[in-house]
């Protein structure tokens, strides 16, 4: 029901030329985002939660007696004994990092994980958010054939690494370096999932490609005699491709641009929203990012306010090289959620900035996107965002802002619906649950027994975090899952039946079309009155 082979040009049209990969030039996802906010939030963090910092120090200081030692001993012990009923009074067992004095040679403790999670299979849980239904769609290409080892090995061609989970332990075979630390924090995410749901993640082997653009073209695997597509995990997809989408590294932190792990960022965004009400925000559309990564962004620059035009847009080019040299000190704390409207525009592929923009309580003006990530397929026009045309953006933005400023209640509702979606349906628990269900579904399709790859190393939170310093260590410490989940993952919603799938798609299309008609009417009138 997706990837109809007739659509558009095949592929993304982007060359996957690694030599083009200057850290501050090519990565679209890098440029969608503004480190201002992150810096702001980091500063805030420093000011506000000194307590957390202190406990971090305790956690990391190997010479200090760990306050949780006793609890750890309890866990080690209980692994070999029948489970005892947990009384509500007992403190939650915590799993801290076991870094030794010599951090350069950390090993994986045998007791890195508790043997099994503490919840039973029959614990009733809430149904997962609707966007989880796309997991069925993403795995559908293998529903009939399953995934053979041969198909998996074909995915190696562009993969950065192979990850194997065997008996609850994780093994990594690295093929090539990824941009910045996106692979590192992605792998970190897998490790934390295993800490959250120990003993619940099935054995599997998967290939992960950390490059921005999807590469598994549906057309190449459409014929009757065509081989099954290689299962390849990455951060985004589009209508022409079959890559399996997975949460990106920024949920665990993006150390190069100071974007901290999602869990605490989300909390700070929520607090930030409480400080400025929508109505008191600047009545314009705001964007800040790097325009040089995509033509469409350069085009957006033309919508800036000028002597000739008032397109209701305030757009800013971010000088990432300068800001990184200056430690992001140029980033201003205040301007990120201080506009009633915020523009989201893709770079060369999806941009990690989308969740930060949607979280603002502002109306997200979504310039027609070409890529999706794991959660964006759950967004609806005029409900979570306002659609903006890709061609003729300035007029589209001007109208959107005009509409919002003359329909204040409805505009606020859209902003609120989006930020609530982000706060509730994209909280870290659901990010892990999405990974859980995707990996569980994926593992069921494997037609071979997963093995420890020959060139693989065992990895765990200790081998990754202990040797690191700076932001990397800080973000890992912060995003470390410290105790297993007490309840099971949310319950997977059933797949869309074709009728409801088309109903949702149709609703999206007709809403977008209706907005376009309003826009045309508005511009007709403007043109006639000669303004």
Where does this chain bind ligand NAG (CB under 6 A)? 102, 104-105, 107, 301, 304-305, 315-317, 520, 523-524, 527
State the nearest-atom distance from the C-beta of 300 to ligand NAG, in Å.
Answer: 9
Q: Is the dihedral of CA 386, 390, 392, 393 positive or negative?
A: positive
* Residue whose CB is less far from ligand NAG, 200 or 395: 395
Retrieve residue 40's tokens. Answer: 């702001």
State the nearest-atom distance from the C-beta of 450 to ligand NAG, in Å.
Answer: 26
CA distance 344 to 366: 5
* Residue whose CB is less far from ligand NAG, 315 or 352: 315
**Alpha helical stretches, state H, 98-148:** 134-139
How many CA atoms lie less than 13 Å away from 524 in the CB half-sphere?
6
Residues 6+ apart with CB under 8 A from 252: 185, 186, 188, 189, 192, 261, 262, 475, 476, 479
State the nearest-atom distance from the C-beta of 124 to ligand NAG, in Å.
Answer: 44
Residues 6+ apart with CB under 8 A from 123: 487, 488
Retrieve residue 253's tokens. Answer: 């932190």
CA distance 313 to 306: 10
**CB neighbour class for 18 (10 Å; exposed up to 12, middle 13-18, buried from 19):** exposed
- ∠ CA 198-204-210, rounded to 5°: 100
CA distance 476 to 459: 14
In sequence order, what E strands does 240-327 have? 244-245, 282-289, 313-317
* Residue whose CB is less far from ligand NAG, 226 or 520: 520
* Residue whose CB is less far from ligand NAG, 119 or 523: 523
State the nearest-atom distance from the C-beta of 59 to ligand NAG, in Å.
Answer: 20
How many CA atoms lie less than 13 Å away from 527 in the CB half-sphere?
7
**Are 314 and 304 in contact, with CB atoms under 8 Å apart?**
yes
* Residue whose CB is less far from ligand NAG, 122 or 308: 308
Residue 248's φ and ψ, nearest 5 degrees, are -80, 170
* Residue whose CB is less far from ligand NAG, 63 or 104: 104
State the nearest-atom distance from the C-beta of 528 to ligand NAG, in Å.
Answer: 8
State the nearest-atom distance from the C-beta of 250 to ligand NAG, in Å.
Answer: 24
* Residue whose CB is less far from ligand NAG, 55 or 102: 102
State the nearest-atom distance from the C-beta of 314 to ligand NAG, in Å.
Answer: 6
Q: Is residue 244 helix, strand or coil?
A: strand
State the nearest-atom distance from the C-beta of 475 to ligand NAG, in Å.
Answer: 24
* Residue whose CB is less far from ligand NAG, 419 or 463: 463
* Residue whose CB is less far from ligand NAG, 305 or 321: 305
List, as one string, the DSSP characters of 347-365: SSS--THHHHHHTTSSEEE
State the nearest-atom distance from the C-beta of 392 to ligand NAG, in Å.
Answer: 7
* Residue whose CB is less far from ligand NAG, 269 or 293: 293
State the nearest-atom distance from the C-beta of 351 to ligand NAG, in Å.
Answer: 17
The packing angle between helices 470-479 and 262-275, to 10°, is 90
Retrieve residue 79's tokens. Answer: 């692994």
């Amino acid at each position: 029901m997706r990837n109809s082979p007739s659509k558009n040009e095949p592929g993304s049209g982007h060359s996957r030329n690694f030599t083009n990969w200057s850290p501050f030039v090519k990565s679209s996802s890098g440029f969608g985002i503004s480190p201002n906010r992150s810096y702001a939030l980091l500063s805030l963090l420093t000011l506000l939660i000194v307590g957390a910092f202190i406990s971090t120090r305790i956690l990391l200081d190997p010479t200090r007696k760990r306050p949780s030692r006793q609890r750890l001993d309890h866990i080690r012990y209980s692994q070999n004994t029948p489970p005892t009923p947990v009384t509500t009074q007992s403190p939650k067992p915590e799993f801290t990092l076991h870094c030794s004095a010599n951090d350069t040679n950390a090993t994986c403790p045998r007791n890195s994980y508790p043997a099994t999670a503490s919840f039973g299979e029959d614990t009733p849980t809430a149904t997962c958010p609707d966007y989880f239904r796309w997991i069925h769609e993403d795995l559908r290409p293998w529903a009939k054939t399953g995934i053979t080892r041969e198909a998996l090995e074909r995915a190696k061609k562009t993969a950065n690494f192979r990850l194997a989970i065997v008996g609850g332990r994780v093994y990594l075979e690295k093929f090539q370096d990824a941009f910045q630390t996106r692979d590192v924090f992605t792998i970190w995410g897998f490790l934390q999932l295993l800490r959250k749901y120990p003993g619940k993640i099935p054995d599997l082997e998967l290939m992960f490609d950390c490059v921005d653009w999807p590469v598994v073209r549906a057309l190449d695997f459409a014929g009757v005699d065509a081989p099954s597509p290689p299962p390849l995990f990455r951060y985004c997809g589009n209508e022409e491709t079959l890559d399996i989408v997975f949460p990106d590294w920024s949920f665990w932190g993006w150390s190069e641009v100071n974007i901290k792990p999602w869990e605490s960022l989300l909390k700070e965004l929520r607090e930030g929203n409480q400080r400025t009400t929508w109505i008191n925000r600047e009545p314009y559309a705001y964007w800040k990012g790097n325009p040089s990564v995509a033509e469409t962004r350069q085009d957006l620059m033309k919508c800036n306010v000028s002597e000739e035009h008032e397109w209701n847009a305030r757009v800013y080019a971010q000088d990432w090289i300068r800001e990184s040299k200056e430690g992001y000190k140029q980033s201003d704390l205040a301007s990120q959620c201080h506009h009633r409207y915020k523009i989201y525009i893709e770079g060369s592929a999806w941009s990690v900035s989308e969740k930060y923009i949607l979280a603002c309580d502002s109306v997200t003006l979504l310039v027609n996107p070409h890529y999706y990530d794991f959660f964006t397929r759950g967004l609806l026009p005029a409900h979570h965002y306002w659609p903006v045309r890709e061609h003729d953006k300035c007029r589209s933005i001007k109208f959107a802002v005009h509409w919002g400023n003359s329909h204040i209640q409805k505009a606020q509702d859209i902003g609120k619906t989006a930020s609530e979606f982000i706060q509730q349906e994209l909280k870290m628990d659901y990010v892990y649950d999405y990974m859980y269900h995707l990996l569980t579904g994926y593992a069921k399709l494997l037609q071979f027994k997963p093995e420890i790859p020959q060139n693989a190393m065992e990895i765990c939170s200790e081998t990754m975090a202990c040797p690191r310093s700076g932001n990397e260590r800080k973000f890992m410490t912060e995003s470390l899952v410290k105790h297993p989940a007490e309840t099971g993952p949310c319950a997977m919603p059933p797949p869309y039946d074709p009728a409801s799938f088309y109903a949702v798609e149709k609703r999206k299309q007709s809403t977008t079309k209706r907005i376009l008609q309003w826009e045309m009417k508005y511009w007709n009138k403007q043109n006639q009155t000669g303004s």
